[in-house]
Structure 1
Amino acid sequence: MTKGLTRGDYDERLGRVRDYIYDHLDEDLDFARLAEIACLSPHHWHRIYHALHGETAFATVRRLRLHRAAYELRQTTMPVERIAERAKYDSAAFARVFKEQFGMPPARYRREGVYAEPGCNRNEEGSPMREIEIRQAPPLTVAGIPHRGPYMEIGRAFDQLHNVLTTRALYGPSQHNVAVYFDEAAITPPADCRSLAGRSVRPAMPIASPLERLELAGGEHAVLRHRGPYAELGAAYDWLFGVWLPGSGREAADRPCYEIYINTPMDAAPKDLITDIYLPLK
């Protein structure tokens, strides 16, 4: 009798596909090759992938390439034509697709970012007005996948987390994705930065490898709501620590910041993403 596949088998096989996609984004991906890597029927593997990821493999590749393109536009001087080429678009198609997802053409996004949108409120100096409030946050139990490397690459760990939670049927109501950042990126080599891609869970939920449990303390937090692409979160942190905190009369607690994601790239365009940044206070 042929041994049947377990949920863990599916998680492991599609994990290989996930890793292959991340490692070969610059290549023309062959979806028959992805089925081969997954050791699943080419006829059915697309349906299995979609059921476990919430999007098709094609949508995953497209999302990751555009996310990388947004980062390159804001954080590098790479020519737009080269960024489009790396995303597998000609210049005209890239401009069209990027505008659909980010609300403006690539060149304008490079200059101004999403806060150039007409609906964005600004202060007297012309800087964007950011939403911040002081909250009493409850303690939070997080089940997550550890990530070591540049913080902008934590999406890879989130994809693995999604696979594990789906195959183990651990998704539940009132949960959110949570990211915790343990090192100061300004003084830590990118390759050594430690973070956790997690999901808020019930305190009593059993957590087994590869998931790790993390307990986040409750208490008073400054909560900054960021609207827009993850590529611009760095600017939000700069404002939080460089503008708001020095003028607030408050002091940061000796605990890491964390992010709670109100939506995700699988259900919202980059320009519509909502992220709450939690800064623990003394």
Structure 2
Amino acid sequence: MPEFASSDFTTSDTPGQASYIRRFTRVIEYIYAHLDAAPDLNTLAEVAALSPWHWHRIWQAVYGETVAATVKRLRLQRAAADLVQTDRPLDEIWPRAGYGSLAAFSRSFKDAYGLPPAEYRKAGSHTRFTMPSSPKGVSAMRDVAIKTLAPATLAVIPHQGSYMQIGRAFETLFGTLAARNLLRPGLCMKGVFYSDPTSVPEAELQSAAGIVVPDDSFPVDAPLQRASLRGGDYAILRHKGPYSDMRAAYDWLYGDWLVRSGREAADAPVLEDYLNNPREVAPTELLTDICLPLK
């Protein structure tokens, strides 16, 4: 289990900043807990304890999208994960995503993911890691670069539970940074995954959403916690496509590349380095570096 150094933190937020961080966090938790329900702005205003006349404008100004857009994005992301990672039938997936018909869901899903749902299940970007490689695996081996990363300090929001739900921690991280006026160009968003999902129950998985602390003047105050990024060699696989497709990439990296590479995994967590923003690009254009620590 990861250990975070938090005992020496002192919160330097103004009362107003601390209040908005708590309000944003409550709304995020509510949205994730009620993802199957239609978002009701008045209810969310009550959760945020803000004026129903103004709270949504505040949310949109901070997060860069409406609550409806947030819910739609998260529902489609969950539907993509259902298609790739489960055998759940399509006639159960589209109502859960909040659509009134399969046709409406298919149009929306294709707009976001490039393929209709049934075709995506059979031929989405995840399949490139399950297709046979060349006899000697030469082309597949070129997909991985070995780089030496410098040690770094991270400011993180811990997360426990399904790795597909780590977005909840990232939303809290983003809202916290926005409330403190700490968002700036070039901040490096990273996911840190401490548990092995093949041996640890999903509810007990430990991970964290974080950013690299850019300099000593950057405040790491609660709810942010300080964590260390191990320096050393990493095998880096660049993944292009939806986050829901990444399980196949991990299986290929561990089960194919690593066993043929002559290298061994180090006793350190795997990292994900997010190179663009799911609010700004389509899921098919997301770029993520999966970073496997090596001895």
Higher relative CO (Cα under 8 Å, sequence separation at least 6) belongs to: 2
Q: Measure the CA separation in 2 of the matches of 1:41 and 1:202.
A: 35
SS of 1:179's equivalent in the other structure is strand
Q: Which amino acid aligns with 2:277?
A: T
**8 Å CA contact retained: 2:192, 2:270:** yes
Residue 146 of structure 1 is aligned with which of 148, 155, 158?
A: 158
Aligned to 1:191: 203
Residue 110 of structure 2 is aligned with which of 99, 122, 146?
A: 99
Q: Measure the CA separation in 2 of the matches of 1:154 and 1:257.
A: 14
Q: CA deviation at 1:116?
A: 6.0
Aligned to 2:147: 135
Q: CA deviation at 1:200?
A: 1.4
**8 Å CA contact retained: 1:261, 1:274:** yes
Aligned to 1:83: 93
Residue 125 of structure 2 is aligned with which of 98, 102, 114?
A: 114
RMSD in angstroms over aligned alpha carbons?
2.0
Residue 272 of structure 2 is aligned with which of 240, 256, 259?
A: 259
Q: Measure the CA separation in 2 of the matches of 1:278 and 1:158.
A: 18
SS of 1:6's equivalent in the other structure is helix
Q: Measure the CA separation in 2 of the matches of 1:216 and 1:30.
A: 40
Q: CA deviation at 1:230?
A: 0.6
Aligned to 1:23: 33
TM score, norm. by length of structure 1:
0.92
Q: Which runs of 5+ in 2 are unaligned?
A: 1-13
**8 Å CA contact retained: 1:145, 1:197:** yes
TM score, norm. by length of structure 2:
0.88
- Say if 2:46 is the partner of 1:66: no
Q: Measure the CA separation in 1 of the matches of 2:241 and 2:32.
A: 23
**Mapping of 1:153-172 within 5 angstroms?**
153-172=165-184
Judged with a 3 Å threshold, the aligned counterparts in structure 2 of structure 1 residues 116 and 280 are, in CA distance, closer, same or farther, namely closer
Q: Which amino acid aligns with 2:172?
A: Q
Give 4+ residue runs of structure 1 displaced > 4 Å after superposition.
127-130
- Say if 2:256 is the partner of 1:246: no
- Say if 2:208 is the partner of 1:178: no
Q: Which amino acid aligns with 1:254?
A: D
SS of 1:22's equivalent in the other structure is helix
Of all paired residues, the percent bearing the same amino acid is 48
Aligned to 1:218: 231
Q: Measure the CA separation in 1 of the matches of 2:15 and 2:56.
A: 17
**8 Å CA contact retained: 1:141, 1:203:** no
Q: CA deviation at 1:207?
A: 0.8
Number of residues of Structure 1 aligned to a counterpart in Structure 2 = 275
